[in-house]
């Protein structure tokens, strides 16, 4: 290759520079994957993904909190008034409009139609505090941290939280046992 | 460094070293014969105080880490053991916990000083931005440190603050679970926070070195905000400012010691002496006092994402401040209108701090909203506009010859400092 050619055209050396640079960049990016991914939930944490809950002792009007994946889950045995109140709400009045029939235990998602059971993750969708049962303006929950009110279907009604309390995946194994997760 | 080095090696060894690793020269030029404006007041002593705070936190922290166990089952117990069983453990922990508060007190004074005297303006923009980086790193460090004792406030503070990231559209939940290393704040979170709490102070140390480097290129600003025009405007750093800084540091340490020995828990929250319980949220969650203004900004906006944006924005805005303030005059001493708005700004920050500690209801929400509006208006409206319309007071000709009665000349004039004839430029 002559001197003049080297000045004006792409040389072997340019190619090697670029190739080496690209190789280092791709290699560096690949090395970031394990460095970053190690911080995601580890296998043992992910393994604790399902729990079985005995609900036979929960009287109507009562709620229990169970731990699932490090988070509290509310299992609430709703009264007929709770259910009626939740069904009576006009969906257009809701920030996150979902009818009560999809919030409570239903055959399609949970294997059984049980309007009296409401199972939701008890973590405020604002910034993660645990709402308090039986307080607030809508008969459901009230979050003390920044004042979010949830109704008897755990739907957000007032305050800064953007969405309803999420429904975890769960199925009724029998009349008295629920598997969450 | 930007000034002529006056370092003279004192013997054969220092001469030998000077040709190989001129650390003594660097120290001499930065801390002994560094030409410093002669009119720096006590607001300027907080840089030295901050350096002391950082070193004090690192020393007490490394010692605490020798006795602390970062595990959800043992963390609280291990801190109690430090308090009761480890020799002088109570002193070291209180010095560390109170030290964090003192550190923030000093940094806020330091920042208000910079805002008042226009220290963020050219040619000190990079210096100012490095300062904002240090503030952010301090906040991250203190937040993670507060999680370590694993009390109720540790746990719920960590929960609320990490949940800020769930506000990010689409990827928010994935990022938050990545931060937690689980599906909620838990052992993985505590472990990584300890690791990072150990690391970040050393990162801060590195940025502080850059900050001081960026200071020593243009040199100090001063209360008049006008440039140094020659030797008559400066005095050597040592002994003039080593002594002044040392005196201020002694007063600061008296306050520090008073808190450590007489009111070590006054600045903390009693709920943090209750072990963390992931099933019970305390009725009223408040962050440490130094985060209250930002917390108030967060809560004053009723939308989750916008609240989080406003809160981070309140600090991010400091990065662009050098380009928002349009006035050619640095010091607010000579800016009569801005001076008044500045007082309003300090009051707004005070109101935010007060409201941040109160429940987010009723009149507190209103006050917090007004103060939040003022906070942002100060940077986005007042500084850009007032800089163009106000008539500044007459600036002194030089630092050594102010038109206003100057304390620098009223006291004893440093020998040699006025020896050079006064020339402009
Ligand atoms: C920028 C400097 C630092 C700041 C602002 C800071 C802040 C804090 C805060 C606010 C706490 C909670 C105190 C409490 O209420 O108990 C804490 C705890 C702790 N820090 Fe630091 N820290 C700093 C540097 C360090 C360093 C360098 C280490 C060394 C490893 C360290 C180790 C610890 C340990 C082990 C604890 C838990 C013990 C305790 O809670 O008292 N810190 N830190
Ligand atoms: S965390 Fe529930 S309202 Fe903020």
Domain residue ranges in chain B:
28-276, 286-390
What's the CATH architecture for A44-180? Answer: 3-layer Sandwich (2.102)
Domain limits of chain A? Answer: 1-40, 44-180
Residue B178 touches chain A, beta carbons under 8 Å: yes
What is the B13 CA–ligand 2 centroid distance (Å)?
65
Residue of B250, B321, B258, B290 whose CA lies nearest to B45? B250
In Å, how far is A27's CA from the nearest CA of chain B? 23
In Å, how far is B359's CA from the nearest CA of chain A? 8
What is the B61 CA–ligand 1 centroid distance (Å)?
5
**pLDDT one digit per residue (tens) for chain B, 425 residues:** 457 889 999 999 999 999 999 999 999 999 999 999 999 999 999 999 999 999 999 999 999 999 999 999 999 999 999 999 999 999 999 999 999 999 999 999 999 999 999 999 999 999 999 999 999 999 999 999 999 999 999 999 999 999 999 999 999 999 999 999 999 999 999 999 999 999 999 999 999 999 999 999 999 999 999 999 988 999 999 999 999 999 999 999 999 999 999 999 999 999 999 999 998 899 888 999 999 999 999 989 888 899 999 999 999 999 999 999 999 999 999 999 999 999 999 999 999 999 999 987 789 999 999 999 999 999 999 999 998 999 999 999 899 876 445 454 444 444 434 434 444 43
Residue B50 tokens, joined:
């901050």
Q: How far is CA B382 from CA B111, B326, B387, in A?
A: 18, 10, 8
Contact B181 A39 (CB under 8 A): yes
Long-range contacts of B387-391 (CB under 8 A, 24+ apart): B387/B325, B387/B326, B387/B327, B387/B328, B387/B338, B388/B326, B388/B327, B389/B337, B390/B327, B390/B335, B390/B336, B390/B337, B390/B338
Q: Is the CB of A132 under 6 A from ligand 2?
A: no
- In whole angstroms, how large is the CA radius of gyration of chain A? 27
Task: Identify whether A146 is a catalytic site residue.
Answer: yes
Q: How far is CA A109 from CA A48, A63, A172, A177, A181, in A?
A: 21, 21, 10, 16, 12
Contact A144 B284 (CB under 8 A): yes
Given this model, what pLDDT does residue B407 score? 52
pLDDT beneath 70, residues of chain A: 1-7
Given this model, what pLDDT does residue B283 score? 83
Q: How many Å apart are CA A139 and CA B310, to the nearest integer?
A: 32
Digit-coded pLDDT (tens) for A130-179: 999 988 899 999 998 888 999 999 999 998 899 999 999 999 999 999 99
Residues of chain B contacting residue A42, judged by C-beta atoms under 8 Å apart: 181, 188
Contact B183 A161 (CB under 8 A): no
Residues of chain A contacting residue B159, judged by C-beta atoms under 8 Å apart: 127-129
Given this model, what pLDDT does residue B116 score? 98
User: Rounded to the nearest 10 degrees, how much is the dihedral formed by the CA atoms of B405, B410, B416, B418?
Assistant: 20
Residues of chain B contacting residue A161, judged by C-beta atoms under 8 Å apart: 304
Residue B180 touches chain A, beta carbons under 8 Å: yes
Half-sphere exposure for B312 (CA within 13 Å, toward CB): 11
Contact indicator for B222, B117 with CB cutoff of 8 Å: yes
Residue A135 touches chain B, beta carbons under 8 Å: no
What is the A125 CA–ligand 2 centroid distance (Å)?
7
What is the A161 CA–ligand 2 centroid distance (Å)?
6
Contact B185 A70 (CB under 8 A): yes
Nearest C-alpha in A relative to B279: A72
Contact A41 B180 (CB under 8 A): yes
Residues of chain B contacting residue A135, judged by C-beta atoms under 8 Å apart: none
Measured between alpha carbons, how far apart are the two ends of chain A, in Å?
A: 68
Of all protein residues, the one whose alpha carbon is nearest to atom 18 of ligand 1 is B145
* Interior angle at CA B106, CA B103 and CA B112, nearest 5: 140
Q: Which ligand is nearest to the CA of B298?
A: 2
What is the B345 CA–ligand 1 centroid distance (Å)?
31
Contact A160 B183 (CB under 8 A): no
Residue of B129, B138, B107 whose CA lies nearest to B204? B138
Q: What is the ipTM of this complex?
A: 0.81
Q: Is the CB of A26 under 6 A from ligand 2?
A: no
Q: How many Å apart are CA B102 and CA B99, to the nearest integer?
A: 5
| Given A37, A77, A126, A146, the catalytic residue | A146
Q: Which ligand is nearest to the CA of A150?
A: 2
For CA atoms B371, B375, B378, B381, give the dihedral sign: negative
Residue of B381, B329, B330 whose CA lies nearest to B114? B330
Q: Is the CB of A124 under 6 A from ligand 2?
A: yes
* Interior angle at CA B157, CA A134 and CA B82, nearest 5: 120
Burial B113-141 (b: 16+ CB within 10 A, else e): bbbbbbbbbeebbbbbbbbbbbbbbbbbb
* Interior angle at CA A100, CA A131 and CA A85, nearest 5: 75
pTM over 0.90: no
Q: Would you call A99 exposed, middle or buried from its count of C-beta atoms within 10 A (0-12, 13-18, 19+)?
A: middle
Atom of ligand 2 nearest to the CA of A131: 2
C-beta neighbour count of B316 within 10 angstroms: 12
Residue B123 tokens, joined:
């040619």
**Hey, what CATH class is B28-276 in?**
mainly alpha
Residue B411 tokens, joined:
């006291």
Contact B183 A41 (CB under 8 A): yes
CATH assignment of B286-390? 1.10.287
- The torsion angles phi and psi of A162, rounded to 5 degrees, stand at -80, -30
Contact B307 A160 (CB under 8 A): yes
Residue A69 touches chain B, beta carbons under 8 Å: yes
Contact indicator for A63, A75 with CB cutoff of 8 Å: yes
Residues of chain A contacting residue B184, judged by C-beta atoms under 8 Å apart: 69-71, 123, 128
Q: How many Å apart are CA B248 and CA B49, to the nearest integer?
A: 8
What are the strands of the beta sheet with A63-68, ordered from one edge?
Answer: A63-68, A71-77, A117-121
Residue A65 touches chain B, beta carbons under 8 Å: yes
């Amino acid at each position: 290759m002559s001197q003049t050619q080297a000045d004006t055209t792409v040389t072997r050396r340019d190619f090697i520079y670029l190739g080496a640079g690209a190789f280092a960049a791709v290699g560096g990016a690949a090395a970031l994957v394990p460095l970053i991914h190690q911080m995601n939930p580890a296998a043992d944490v992910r393994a604790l993904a399902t729990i079985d809950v005995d609900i036979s002792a929960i009287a109507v009007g009562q709620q229990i909190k169970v731990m699932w994946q490090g988070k509290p889950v509310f299992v609430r045995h709703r009264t007929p008034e709770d259910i009626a109140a939740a069904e009576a709400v006009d969906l257009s009045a809701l920030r996150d409009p979902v009818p009560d029939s999809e919030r409570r235990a239903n055959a399609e998602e949970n294997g059984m139609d049980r309007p009296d059971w409401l199972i939701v993750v008890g973590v405020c969708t604002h910034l993660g505090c645990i709402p308090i049962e039986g307080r607030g303006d809508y008969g459901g929950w009230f979050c003390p941290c920044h004042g979010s009110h949830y109704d008897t279907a755990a739907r957000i009604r007032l305050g800064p939280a953007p969405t309803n309390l999420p429904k975890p995946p769960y199925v009724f194994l029998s009349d008295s046992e629920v598997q969450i997760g | 460094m930007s000034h002529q080095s006056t370092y003279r090696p004192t013997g054969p060894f220092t001469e030998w070293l000077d040709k190989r690793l001129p650390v003594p020269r660097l120290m001499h030029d930065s801390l002994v014969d560094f030409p410093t404006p002669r009119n720096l007041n006590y607001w300027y002593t907080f840089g030295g105080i901050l350096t002391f705070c950082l070193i004090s936190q690192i020393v007490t922290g490394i010692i605490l880490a020798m006795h602390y166990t970062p595990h959800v089952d043992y963390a609280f117990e291990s801190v109690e053991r430090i308090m009761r069983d480890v020799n002088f453990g109570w002193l070291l922990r209180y010095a560390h916990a109170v030290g964090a508060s003192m550190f923030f007190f000093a940094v806020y004074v330091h920042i208000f000083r910079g805002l008042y005297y226009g220290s963020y303006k050219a040619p000190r923009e990079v210096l100012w931005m490095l300062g904002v980086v240090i503030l952010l790193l301090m906040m991250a460090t203190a937040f993670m440190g507060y999680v370590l004792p694993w009390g109720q406030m540790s746990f719920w503070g960590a929960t609320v603050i990490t949940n800020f990231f769930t506000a990010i559209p689409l990827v928010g939940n994935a990022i938050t679970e990545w931060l937690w290393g689980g599906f909620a704040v838990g052992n993985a979170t505590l472990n990584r926070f300890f690791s990072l709490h150990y690391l970040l102070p050393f990162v801060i140390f590195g940025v502080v070195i850059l900050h001081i480097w960026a200071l020593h290129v243009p040199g100090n600003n001063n209360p008049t905000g006008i440039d140094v025009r020659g030797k008559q405007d400066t005095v050597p750093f040592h002994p003039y400012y080593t002594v002044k800084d040392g005196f201020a540091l002694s007063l600061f340490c008296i306050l520090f010691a008073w808190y450590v020995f007489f009111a070590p828990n006054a600045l903390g929250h009693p709920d943090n002496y209750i072990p963390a319980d992931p099933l019970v949220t305390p009725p009223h969650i408040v962050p440490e006092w130094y985060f209250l203004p930002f917390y108030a900004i967060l809560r004053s906006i009723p939308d989750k994402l916008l609240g989080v944006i406003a809160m981070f924005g309140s600090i991010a805005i400091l990065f662009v401040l050098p380009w928002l303030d349009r006035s050619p005059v640095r010091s607010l001493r000579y800016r009569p209108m801005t001076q008044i708005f500045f007082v309003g700004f300090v009051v707004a920050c005070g109101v935010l701090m007060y409201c941040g500690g109160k429940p987010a209801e009723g009149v507190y929400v209103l006050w917090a909203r007004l103060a939040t509006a003022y906070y942002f208006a100060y940077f986005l409206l007042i500084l850009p506009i007032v800089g163009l319309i106000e008539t500044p007071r007459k600036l002194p000709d030089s630092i050594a010859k102010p038109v206003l009665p100057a304390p620098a000349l009223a006291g004893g004039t440093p020998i040699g400092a006025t020896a050079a004839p006064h020339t402009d430029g």
